[in-house]
Chain A
Amino acid sequence: MLNGTTAEIKPREALRINPAKTCQPIGAMYAALGINGCMPHSHGSQGCCSYHRSHLTRHFKEPVVATTSSFTEGASVFGGLANMTQALSNIFTIYNPKIVAVHTTCLSEVIGDDIPMMIKKAKEEKIIPEGKYVIHANTPSFVGSHVTGFASMVTGMVKYLAESTGTPAEQLNVIPGYIDPAEMREIKRIVNEMGVKTVMFPDTSGVLDLPQDGQYRMFPSGGATIEQIKSSGDSKGTIALGHFASHPAAIELDEKCKVPAALLELPYGLTNTDLFIHALRNHGGVDVPATIGQERGRLLDAMSDMHQYFHGKRVAIVGDPDHVIALTQFLVELDMKPVYVFTGSSGKHFEQRLTDMLATHAPDAMIKQNVDLFELHQQIKNNPVDLIIGNTYSKYISRVENIPFVRFGFPILDRMGHRYFPCVGYTGALRLMEMINDALLDHKDRECAEENFELIQ
C-alpha cells in the first residue's frame, strides 16, 4: 500500500499528490443546504454537481439534491445565460423551492458569466416567481478550497438576505462553520440550555440528518429560514465560529448592518467551548446554568482521570484549517504533543495562529498550510507519530505505517459516528477523548507483548 511513497522528500512545485482539500463548490453546496427550502444550483458542467452530490451523500448517507446548468460545449462558447434561465424556470416550476442558491464552477468562472446580471434578468422576466429568492456565490475551484466555498456561500446569504430594519432584535447570530448537522444540532442545544435566543445560519440539522419515517421530502423542515437570516441584520451581535469558514460572513454582516461580532474558533475542546459559553453568557445576558457547568465538570474529570494516556503522545493532525486550529488547542489541553499540524487549504492565519498556540507547548511542531497527505506521509516516515487525526483519506497512511487513527472532519466515508454524535461542546470533547483513547489503547492491546497485555487501564 502506498509503496510509491518514500521517506526521501523531493522538491515539488507543481504536482499535488493526495490532496488534503477539495474545491470550492462542494462547500458552497453544503452551506446552501443549511437554508430552509433551498435548492443549491451548480452553474457549470453537470459533472461538478454530480461529484459534489455523490461525495456529500457518502459523508451523510442522506439525500443531497442540487441542480445544475448542464453546460455542454455550446454554453461554454456562448456563455451560460440561456442555461441559467432555463434552469431557474425548471427549478421553480418542478421543485418549487423557496430559494435557489447558485454557486459557480471553474467553467462558468473562466468564461466570465455574470451571475448577478443573470439573476436580475430572470427576475425582470418573472422566471423567479414573486416571493422567491435567488442568491449566489462565486466559487471558482482554482482559488481557495472547499472551506472558501462554504465561507463564500454563507457570506452570500448575508449579502443577499440580511437586513437592518432599524429595530434591534433581542437575539444573537451564531455562524457555526463547516461542521456536521449533528454538531449544529448540539450547538443549538447548548444555546437553548443557556436560554439565549439565537439565529443560526447555515443550519443543516433537520436537513442532512433526517429520521426514517417512510417519507421523502425534498425540502425538509430544517434549515435556517429566510426570515431568520433576514433578521440577522437586527441582531445584537454575532458569534462566528472559525476564522476561515465563518468570520468572513460575520464581517460582511458588520459592514452591511453594523452587527458587531465575537470572532471565535470552533468549539472543540475545553477552552474553545469555554470561550463560546462565555460569549453566549455575556452577550446573551444570561447566567451559565448549572447543567452546563456540570457538563464542563464531567469533561474536566475525564481529563484528569485519563491524563496519563494522553500526555506526551505525538500526534499528526491534518484537516480543514478551522478544525485543525481548534482541535490542536484541545490536544494542548490534554498535554498531547502535536508534531505535524497540516492543512491542505491556504491561509497565513493558519500558520500564525498555530505558531503562537504551540510556541511554548510544542515549539518543534511542523505547521504547514497548502500541503498534502503525500508530504504528511513522507514526514511521518522520517519521524513517526503515535496517532494520526484526519479525514478518511488518512486511513491509508495509518494502515501502512501501523499508526492509530482517529477520523475527524470532512469527509468521513467509512464510519457512522459523525452522523449522530457531535464533537463540539463539552460533551463533544468527551467523544473526541473517547475516540483518541480507544484508538491508542486498541493499538496497544493489539500490538503489545503478552506480558504487557493488561485487563485494566
Chain B
Amino acid sequence: MSETTDTLIAPDPAAVKAEMLKIYPAKTAKKRAKQIILNDPEAPPEIGANTRTVPGIITQRGCTYAGCRGVVMGPIYDLLQITHGPVGCGYYAWQTRRNLVRPPEGTTNYLQYCMNTDMQEDQIVFGGEKKLAQAIREAYAIFKPKAIAILSTCPVGLIGDDVHAVAKQMKEELGINVMGFSCEGYKGVSQSAGHHIANNGVFKNIIGLDDKADVAEFNMNILGEYNIGGDAWEIDTLLRKCGIHVTATLSGDVSYDQVKKCHTVQLNGVMCHRSINYIAEMLEKKFGIPWIKVNFIGAEATAKTLRKIAKFFDSKKLTDRVEEVIAQEMLALKPVREEIKARHQGKKAALFVGGSRAHHYQDLFRDIGMEIVSAGYEFAHRDDYEGRKVLPTIKVDADSRNIEELHVEADPARFKPSKTPEQIAALEAGGFNFKDYEGMMVEMKKTTLVIDDISHHEMEKLIEIYKPDIIGSGIKDKFVIEKMGVPCKQLHSYDYSGPYAAFGGAINFYREVDRMLTTKVWKFIIPPWEKDPSSATPLTHTTRTEAKNETKAWRKGGAADADGPM
C-alpha cells in the first residue's frame, strides 16, 4: 500500500460519495446521502446524524442497552448491576469492554460478574417483576453491595415490567440504594440513547449523595473517560504530576462513593462529549460547576488541554508546573515521535468509531504526520460533527423525544460556582471557551468525506478508492478491513494494547501504528512462485569439499535470504 500512496491522486470526494450511493435503492440512497458529507471546515455543512439506521444495512451500531449498561454504568466497579431480561444481553456486556479497574483491597469488583434474571417464557407471559425482586434479594443476600442498579432489555418494556417500582420497593426492603434504568435496546437509534438514560439515572440516583469534597487545591472530574486499556490512569497520573486532583472519572475505574460526590469539584473536563455532556450540563445547572472540553488523546492535544485547565484555575504556581510537566514529557516523547514520523509522514488514515474517538484520534495520527482522508462516528449527533453552536437548530425527532430530558434547577443550598460571573466573563474575554465543543468537522480538511454510521458497503468502497494505510474502527469491521490487506486498529478495545491517552499513551500509540505499518505480513500475501516463477531454488551438484564450507554451499544453491525478496 505504502508504495502506491505517494503517487495516488487524491480522489474527488463528490465522486466517491456518488460511487458509494450508486448501488442503493432510491430510498436508502436518499437517506445515506444526508449522512455522507463533503467537509468544509470553514462552515461545516449539516450532516444527518442520530437518525435511524436503514434496515438491512450492515451497520456498526448497537443498542440503547449497550450504551447504558456497557458504556456508562458498567465501569462503576462496586455498583452491583443486574440485567433484567433473557440471558444474552447481560452475557455480551460481560467483560467485553476494556474498562480496567483497580478496586481497593477487599472490594468486590462487580465487573467480573454477569448478573441477570435469565428471563424465561413464563415471565414474558406473566410478567417478570417478581423474579426481578427475588433476584435483587438474592444478590443482596450473597454480596451485600452498597447499591444495586437494574438494567432493562427489550422484553422488559414490551411486557410492561416496571423496574422503577421494583427498585423503589427493594430500596425500602433492603435499605440500600436501588435504581432502575429503562434502557431497552429499541429505545433509540443507537447506543447514544443509552448514554443519555444512564446520565439521567446517575444524576438522579447517585450524584449529590455525599457532599464531603476531597481536600485539594485544584479539584476536578474527568467526564466521558472510560479507562480503556488504562487511559484514565495515564490521565490521572499526569494531572497529579501537575498538582490537579481528580475526584471522579466517569466512568473509568470509579467507585460508587466517588460518583456520589462528583458535584463537589471546581471544574468538569469532558473527554467524550457524546456520552456524557448531559451530566456536565446538569452539574452546571444544579451545582454551578463549569465544564470545558478536554482531550488527552495526542501529545499536542494533551498539552493544549493542560494549559486550558491551568488557565481556568488561574494560578501561577499551577501554570508554571504545567509548563514544566509538558516540557518534561515532550522531552521523552519527541525523539520517538520524530523517528516514527519520518517513516510515516503523509500516509493516510481513516477513522470510523464511537462518538468522540473518530475525532480525538485524528490528533494522534497528525502528531506523526499522517493525514485523515475520511472519518465519521458510529452514534454521534450533529453537534459532535458541526459543533455545539448547532444545538438550537437540531430537530428533536420521535426517537429522541422518547428519552427523558431531566428538568434541572439550581440547588438552593449547594449551587456554589467556583468562579464568579465576573471571573467567567474575564476568562471568556481572554478567549477562554466554556461548554465549547467545536466538533470534528472544523479540524478536518476540505477534501475529506465525513460519513456518519458508515455502512459495510461504504467502507469497502472507501478502501477500494482511497487505499488508506490504516483504518481505526471496531471489532465487527476489523477483519473485513484486514482481509483487504489494510491494517485496522480497533479503537474500542485498542486490540488489547494501550493505554493511548496523555503523553505516555501517545508514545504507545505511535509505536503501535509504526508496528502495524511496518509489519512484514502483508508483503507475504503473494507467494514467490507467483511473483517470479523462475526464482525457485535450483537443483545443483555439491561436492563434499564444498559442503564443508556450509555458507558457500548454501549460496551456491541460490536460496533466498532469510528476509526474502519483498
At the interface with chain A, which of B152-160, B350-358, B441-449, B548-556?
A: B152-160
A84–B55 alpha-carbon span in the complex (Å):
7
Contact A216 B402 (CB under 8 A): no
Contact A212 B188 (CB under 8 A): no
Instruction: Report chain A residues within 8 Å CB of B132.
Output: 14
* B479 CB-CB contact with A under 8 Å: yes
Contact of B91 among A23, A58, A73 (CB under 8 A): A23
Which of A6, A57, A63 counts the most B-chain CB atoms under 10 A from its CB?
A: A63
Instruction: Report chain B residues within 8 Å CB of A212.
Output: 482-483, 521, 525
Instruction: Report chain A residues within 8 Å CB of B141.
Output: 10
* A2 CB-CB contact with B under 8 Å: yes
Tally the A-B contacts, defined by beta carbons under 8 Å: 255
Contact A65 B114 (CB under 8 A): no
Please provide the chain B residues from 62 to 116 with a CB less than 8 Å away from any CB of chain A in the complex: 62-66, 82, 85-92, 94, 96, 106, 108-110, 112-116
Contact of B117 among A14, A66, A90, A217 (CB under 8 A): A14
Listed by A's residue number, 15 A-B pairs whose Cβ atoms lie within 8 Å are A3-B108, A4-B142, A10-B141, A13-B134, A14-B132, A14-B134, A15-B135, A18-B114, A54-B474, A70-B61, A90-B24, A90-B54, A141-B88, A212-B483, A212-B521
Instruction: Report chain B residues within 8 Å CB of A86.
Output: 27, 54-56
A26–B86 alpha-carbon span in the complex (Å):
13
* B189 CB-CB contact with A under 8 Å: yes
A23–B93 alpha-carbon span in the complex (Å):
13
User: DSSP majority for the B interface?
Assistant: helix
Instruction: Report chain A residues within 8 Å CB of B526.
Output: 214
Contact B121 A55 (CB under 8 A): no
Contact A57 B479 (CB under 8 A): yes
In the complex, given contacts A67-B55, A106-B154, A216-B484, what are 14 additional A-B residue pairs having Cβ atoms less than 8 angstroms apart?
A3-B106, A15-B134, A16-B87, A45-B185, A46-B190, A63-B479, A69-B56, A70-B53, A89-B56, A90-B24, A110-B154, A142-B121, A212-B482, A216-B481
* B429 CB-CB contact with A under 8 Å: no
CB distance from A26 to the nearest CB of B (A): 7
Contact B66 A61 (CB under 8 A): no
Closest-by-CB residue of A relative to B402 is: A73
CB distance from A405 to the nearest CB of B (A): 16
With an 8 Å Cβ cutoff, the count of chain A residues facing the other chain is 83
CB distance from B202 to the nearest CB of A (A): 21
Closest-by-CB residue of A relative to B142 is: A10
Contact of A58 among B28, B117, B475 (CB under 8 A): B475
- Residues of chain A touching chain B, judged by Cβ–Cβ distance below 8 Å, are 1-4, 6, 10-19, 21-26, 41, 44-48, 50-55, 57-58, 61-76, 83-84, 86-91, 93-95, 105-107, 110-111, 140-143, 145, 210, 212-218, 374, 393, 396
Contact B154 A45 (CB under 8 A): yes
CB distance from A375 to the nearest CB of B (A): 11
Give 9 closest A-B pairs by Cβ, nearest first: A47-B63, A23-B88, A90-B56, A87-B56, A141-B86, A4-B108, A14-B134, A16-B118, A51-B92
Given A50-B63, A214-B484, A214-B525, is A66 in contact with B186 using a C-beta cutoff of 8 Å?
no
Given A45-B186, A72-B188, is A50 in contact with B479 using a C-beta cutoff of 8 Å?
no
Contact B62 A55 (CB under 8 A): no
Contact A63 B186 (CB under 8 A): no
Given A14-B134, A14-B135, A19-B118, is A93 in contact with B55 using a C-beta cutoff of 8 Å?
no
CB distance from B256 to the nearest CB of A (A): 15
CB distance from B115 to the nearest CB of A (A): 5
Instruction: Report chain B residues within 8 Å CB of A66.
Output: 58
Contact A63 B480 (CB under 8 A): yes
Given A51-B89, A63-B480, A142-B120, is A14 in contact with B138 using a C-beta cutoff of 8 Å?
yes
A213–B124 alpha-carbon span in the complex (Å):
48
Closest-by-CB residue of A relative to B88 is: A23
Closest-by-CB residue of A relative to B24 is: A94
Given A4-B110, A76-B186, A107-B185, is A90 in contact with B63 using a C-beta cutoff of 8 Å?
no
A94–B29 alpha-carbon span in the complex (Å):
11
Contact B485 A72 (CB under 8 A): no
Contact B63 A48 (CB under 8 A): yes
Contact of A215 among B88, B475, B484 (CB under 8 A): B484
Instruction: Report chain B residues within 8 Å CB of A6.
Output: 142
Closest-by-CB residue of B relative to A22 is: B91
A14–B142 alpha-carbon span in the complex (Å):
13
- Residues of chain B touching chain A, judged by Cβ–Cβ distance below 8 Å, are 23-25, 27-28, 52-66, 82, 85-92, 94, 96, 106, 108-110, 112-121, 123-124, 131-132, 134-135, 138-139, 141-143, 153-155, 157-159, 185-191, 398-399, 402, 456-457, 460, 474-476, 478-485, 521-522, 525-526
CB distance from A108 to the nearest CB of B (A): 9
Instruction: Report chain A residues within 8 Å CB of B190.
Output: 46
Contact A142 B86 (CB under 8 A): yes
Contact of A67 among B58, B90, B91 (CB under 8 A): B58
Instruction: Report chain B residues within 8 Å CB of A84.
Output: 55
Instruction: Report chain B residues within 8 Å CB of A21.
Output: 87, 91
Instruction: Report chain A residues within 8 Å CB of B113.
Output: 2, 4, 17-18, 374
Contact A53 B460 (CB under 8 A): no
Contact of B54 among A10, A11, A48, A70 (CB under 8 A): A70
Contact of A19 among B25, B63, B87, B124 (CB under 8 A): B87
Instruction: Report chain B residues within 8 Å CB of A23.
Output: 86-89, 91
A220–B138 alpha-carbon span in the complex (Å):
48
Instruction: Report chain A residues within 8 Å CB of B62.
Output: 46-47, 50-51
Contact A47 B138 (CB under 8 A): no
CB distance from B186 to the nearest CB of A (A): 4
Contact of A15 among B28, B108, B138 (CB under 8 A): B138
A44–B118 alpha-carbon span in the complex (Å):
19
A271–B62 alpha-carbon span in the complex (Å):
44
Contact A47 B66 (CB under 8 A): yes
CB distance from A110 to the nearest CB of B (A): 5
Contact B154 A14 (CB under 8 A): no
Contact B25 A89 (CB under 8 A): yes
Contact B154 A105 (CB under 8 A): yes
A297–B116 alpha-carbon span in the complex (Å):
47
Instruction: Report chain A residues within 8 Å CB of B142.
Output: 4, 6, 10, 12, 15, 17
CB distance from A125 to the nearest CB of B (A): 13
A6–B143 alpha-carbon span in the complex (Å):
9
Contact B158 A47 (CB under 8 A): no
Which of B158, B186, B188 counts the most A-chain CB atoms under 10 A from its CB?
A: B186
Contact B112 A1 (CB under 8 A): yes
Contact B28 A90 (CB under 8 A): yes
Contact A17 B480 (CB under 8 A): no
Contact A143 B185 (CB under 8 A): no
CB distance from A79 to the nearest CB of B (A): 12
Contact A216 B54 (CB under 8 A): no
Contact A51 B66 (CB under 8 A): yes
Contact B476 A64 (CB under 8 A): yes
Instruction: Report chain B residues within 8 Å CB of A72.
Output: 52, 186-189, 399
Instruction: Report chain B residues within 8 Å CB of A54.
Output: 92, 96, 474-476
Contact B480 A216 (CB under 8 A): yes
Instruction: Report chain B residues within 8 Å CB of A44.
Output: 154, 185
Instruction: Report chain B residues within 8 Å CB of A69.
Output: 55-56
CB distance from B20 to the nearest CB of A (A): 11
Closest-by-CB residue of A relative to B93 is: A51
A6–B108 alpha-carbon span in the complex (Å):
12
Given A54-B475, A90-B56, A95-B457, is A216 in contact with B112 using a C-beta cutoff of 8 Å?
no
A57–B110 alpha-carbon span in the complex (Å):
25
Instruction: Report chain A residues within 8 Å CB of B185.
Output: 44-45, 47-48, 107
Contact of B59 among A46, A94, A213 (CB under 8 A): A46
Instruction: Report chain A residues within 8 Å CB of B114.
Output: 16-19
Which of B54, B65, B479 counts the most A-chain CB atoms under 10 A from its CB?
A: B479
Closest-by-CB residue of A relative to B91 is: A22
CB distance from A17 to the nearest CB of B (A): 5
CB distance from A226 to the nearest CB of B (A): 21
Contact A214 B154 (CB under 8 A): no
Contact B138 A12 (CB under 8 A): yes
A291–B110 alpha-carbon span in the complex (Å):
52
